[in-house]
Amino acid sequence: MSINENPIEIRLTPRFQKDLKILAKRYRSIRQDLQPLLQIYSSNCRTKKNRRANRRMLSKNSKT
């Protein structure tokens, strides 16, 4: 199965979009900075093992 057969859609919550808009005023490149993260997450979360690893990675990054 290729990656393009079953693309994963990442939906941003209204709260996240609001916070992103506020942050974008201060950090102009935040949207470009988030794109690679979203692409990596959407391409790697196809299996249960990868979803767990991604959650761990994201939770570790949010603590710092």
Structure tokens, 64: 């710092």
Q: Are 46 and 52 in contact (CB under 8 A)?
A: no
pTM beyond cutoff 0.85:
no
Q: Is 33 a member of any domain?
A: yes
Structure tokens, 9: 């859609």
Q: What is the pLDDT of residues 1-59, one digit of tens each?
A: 455 556 677 788 999 999 999 999 999 999 999 988 888 777 766 555 666 666 776 77
Q: Is 52 a member of any domain?
A: yes
> What is residue 10's predicted lDDT score, i.e. its pLDDT?
79
- Per the structure, the count of domains in the chain is 1
Q: Is 8 a member of any domain?
A: no
Q: Which domain holds residue 55?
A: 14-63
Q: Is 42 a member of any domain?
A: yes
Q: Is 9 a member of any domain?
A: no
Q: Is 50 a member of any domain?
A: yes
Q: Is 55 a member of any domain?
A: yes
Structure tokens, 61: 């990054």
Q: Is 28 a member of any domain?
A: yes
